[in-house]
């Protein structure tokens, strides 16, 4: 996961001073040493590390901080605010053309995920409710099967792809593509350009020519987060020849260090506009420096979690579910629907890490997203009557045996699901019986005691692959 090792180290360094009523300069020095080492190990540029630690130390040693009632907590806030500042303070919005079709051009090295992120970007924009009519232009005429890959992505998103094969010049393809977009009322054009294994003059000259010909509203550089500090050199080289308006940092989900994300804006003044956090076309997020600072320090990101939930769950569906649960009704069909919502939101571990306070607790826990598929397989092996009436499964071992065989999952897994579901159903029923005062208690942050699953005697005959 992104920033995992950095987050762990920084959290440990700050934990030593959190809540402290008294701090000495020696305490600050020890903390800053740990922070400096943490950032360097995360492959953050040494200049960024030097300036960052200097700024934090100066503010931490300020008279107002040292004489405050909780200097430890205030120092933590300083570190968090400086991290946000380092990454650009605020999210950088996309530039749209109000008088004609908006044109985005994606550039980058081969293997950085450029073509995939053409699809991710279009998918993200459409989900914002802008009702755009996108068009892809296949301008990568060099990489084998690049056009076919873009067509496949376009088909999955129901977005047309303009292409003229591999024989025409790239500039002509792009110009004709823009004409086609105007004629067919496409108000968003995303150009997939050719990447190279290394930067060369021929590639750059071609990109310069395209940029001059169509004057795109955004020139977005896709850069692999796994490159670390080398990413800075690539960005600076591209920006020296082109006018780069922003970066898409790809494969951030696979970079446990995250050095590039912390160095790019400070050293190049080019904003990171998006981050790629997975392989699916939904796995693209706006880069919010404030939220990212919270994630790095293990504070979670509840705003992003709410946004993910909103995108995954239709408002009407959520209202129907809420009304049903208010009546104390909850069955396996509802459970299955919730599983589908979770799958839409991304990896289970990634979702849980957005919840404040869970980051460190989940550090050594392995999550297999296939577990959700196993649950679905078990529920799909139930009859419709069993799904609607869960109690008949709980009472019948023969039914659970049949469901186990039908789903291909071990019998203990079926039992574990039944027990967990029974607990959840009890909780739903208890919530439905709450009076007005209890509801007010919940709104104030309290939570009435929930029933616990009954302890079962006996050791059982095996263990399943998932736990509830």
CATH code of the domain covering residue 137: 3.40.50.300
Confidence band for 349, pLDDT divided at 50, 70 and 90: low
Q: What is the mean pLDDT of residues 166-184?
A: 94
Q: Which residues pair with 135 in a beta bridge?
A: 189
Q: What is the mean pLDDT of residues 391-407?
A: 92
What pLDDT was estimated at residue 304? 46
242 and 140 in a common domain? yes
Residues 7/296, Cβ–Cβ less than 8 Å: yes
Average per-residue pLDDT in the chain?
Answer: 80
How many domains, the chain? Answer: 3
Helix then strand then coil, in percent of the chain rounded to 5, is 55, 10, 35
285 and 194 in a common domain? yes
Task: State the CATH number of the domain containing residue 415.
Answer: 1.10.260.30
394 and 326 in a common domain? yes
81 and 185 in a common domain? no
CB contact set of 433 (below 8 Å; sequence gap of 6+)? 328
14 and 155 in a common domain? no
* Residue 451 covered by a domain: no
* Residue 459 covered by a domain: no
What pLDDT was estimated at residue 450? 36
Q: What percent of the chain shows pLDDT beyond 70?
A: 76
Q: What are the helix and strand counts (H, E) for the chain?
A: 22, 8
pLDDT digits (tens, 9 = 90+) for 415-466: 988 988 888 777 777 766 655 554 445 444 443 343 333 344 444 444 445 4
222 and 257 in a common domain? yes
What pLDDT was estimated at residue 42? 86
What pLDDT was estimated at residue 125? 92
Q: Is 398 or 344 the better-scoring residue by pLDDT?
A: 398
Q: What is the mean pLDDT of residues 395-416?
A: 92
Task: State the CATH number of the domain containing residue 53.
Answer: 1.20.120.140
Residues 18 and 6: their CA atoms lie apart, in Å, by 18
What residue numbers bound the domain in which 158 lies? 102-299
pLDDT greater than 90 at residue 155: yes
What pLDDT was estimated at residue 68? 65
Residues 245 and 217: their CA atoms lie apart, in Å, by 9
Q: What is the mean pLDDT of residues 343-372?
A: 55
Q: Is 359 or 260 the better-scoring residue by pLDDT?
A: 260
**Which of 299, 325, 352 is the last residue before a domain boundary?**
299
* Residue 450 covered by a domain: no
DSSP string, 11-45: HHHHHTTTT-S---HHHHHHHHHHHHHHHHHTT--
Q: What is the mean pLDDT of residues 343-362?
A: 53
* Residue 467 covered by a domain: no
* Residue 237 covered by a domain: yes
- Torsion of Cα atoms, 21 then 24 then 25 then 29, to 10°: -70
391 and 252 in a common domain? no
Q: Which of 162-171, 209-218, 239-248, 296-305 has the lowest mean pLDDT?
A: 296-305
186 and 106 in a common domain? yes
* Tokens representing residue 21 in the block: 């009523």
176 and 49 in a common domain? no
* Residue 455 covered by a domain: no
Q: What is the mean pLDDT of residues 373-391?
A: 89
319 and 265 in a common domain? no
Q: Give the burial string for 169-192 (b: 16+ CB within 10 Å, else e).
A: ebeebbeebbeebeeeebbbbbbb
Q: Which of 95-99, 250-254, 315-319 has the lowest mean pLDDT?
A: 315-319
361 and 436 in a common domain? yes
Q: Give the burial string for 379-396 (b: 16+ CB within 10 Å, else e).
A: bebbeeebbeebeebbee
pLDDT digits (tens, 9 = 90+) for 15-42: 778 777 777 888 888 889 999 998 998 8
What burial class does residue 362 get, using C-beta atoms within 10 Å of its C-beta: 0-12 exposed, 13-18 middle, 19+ buried?
Answer: middle
What pLDDT was estimated at residue 351? 53
* Residue 464 covered by a domain: no
What pLDDT was estimated at residue 272? 94
134 and 69 in a common domain? no
Residue 248: phi, psi to the nearest 5?
-115, 110
Q: Which of 45-49, 236-240, 353-357 has the lowest mean pLDDT?
A: 353-357
* Residue 259 covered by a domain: yes
pTM over 0.75? The answer is no
**Which of 299, 316, 343 is the last residue before a domain boundary?**
299
What pLDDT was estimated at residue 453? 36
Q: Is 43 or 310 the better-scoring residue by pLDDT?
A: 43
Q: How far is CA 190 from the centre of its chain?
A: 22
Q: What percent of the chain shows pLDDT beyond 90?
A: 35
What pLDDT was estimated at residue 436? 52
């Amino acid at each position: 996961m992104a920033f995992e090792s950095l987050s762990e180290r920084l959290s440990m360094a700050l934990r030593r001073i959190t809540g402290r009523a008294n701090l000495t300069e020696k305490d600050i020095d020890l903390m800053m040493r740990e922070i400096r080492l943490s950032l360097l190990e995360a492959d953050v540029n040494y200049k960024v590390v030097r300036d960052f630690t200097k700024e934090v130390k100066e503010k931490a040693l300020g008279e107002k901080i040292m004489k405050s009632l909780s200097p430890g907590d205030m120092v933590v806030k300083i570190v968090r605010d400086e991290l946000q500042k380092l990454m650009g303070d605020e999210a950088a919005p996309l530039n749209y053309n109000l008088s004609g079709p908006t044109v985005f051009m994606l550039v980058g090295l081969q293997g950085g995920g450029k073509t995939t992120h053409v699809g991710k970007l279009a998918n993200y924009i459409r989900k914002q409710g802008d009702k755009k009519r996108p068009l892809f232009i296949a301008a990568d005429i060099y990489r084998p099967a690049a056009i076919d890959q873009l067509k496949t992505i376009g088909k999955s998103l129901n977005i047309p792809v303009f292409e003229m094969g591999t024989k025409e010049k790239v500039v002509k393809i792009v110009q004709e593509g823009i004409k086609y977009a105007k004629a067919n009322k496409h108000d968003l054009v995303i150009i997939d350009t050719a990447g190279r294994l290394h930067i060369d003059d021929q590639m750059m000259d071609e990109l310069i020519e395209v940029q001059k010909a169509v004057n795109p509203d955004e020139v977005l550089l896709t850069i692999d987060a796994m490159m670390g500090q080398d990413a800075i050199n690539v960005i600076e080289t591209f920006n020296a020849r082109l006018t780069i308006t922003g970066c898409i940092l790809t494969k951030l989900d696979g970079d446990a260090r995250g050095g590039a994300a912390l160095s790019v804006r400070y050293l190049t003044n080019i904003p990171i506009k998006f981050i790629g956090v997975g392989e699916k076309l939904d796995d693209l997020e706006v880069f919010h420096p404030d939220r990212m600072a919270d994630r790095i320090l293990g504070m979670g990101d509840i705003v992003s979690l709410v946004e993910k939930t909103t995108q995954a769950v239709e408002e009407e569906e959520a209202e129907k579910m809420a009304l049903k649960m208010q009546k104390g009704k909850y069955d396996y069909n509802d459970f299955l629907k919730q599983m589908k919502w979770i799958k839409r939101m991304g990896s289970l571990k990634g979702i849980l890490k957005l919840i404040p306070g869970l980051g460190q607790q989940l550090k050594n826990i392995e999550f297999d997203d296939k577990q959700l598929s196993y649950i679905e397989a078990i529920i799909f092996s139930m009859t419709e009557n069993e799904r609607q009436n869960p109690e008949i499964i709980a009472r019948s071992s023969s039914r659970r045996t049949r469901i186990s065989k039908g789903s291909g999952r071990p019998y203990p897994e079926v039992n574990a699901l039944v027990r967990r579901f029974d607990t959840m159903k009890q909780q739903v029923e208890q919530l439905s019986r709450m009076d007005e005062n209890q509801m007010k208690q919940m709104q104030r942050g309290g939570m009435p005691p929930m029933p616990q699953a009954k302890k079962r005697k006996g050791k059982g005959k095996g263990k399943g692959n998932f736990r509830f």
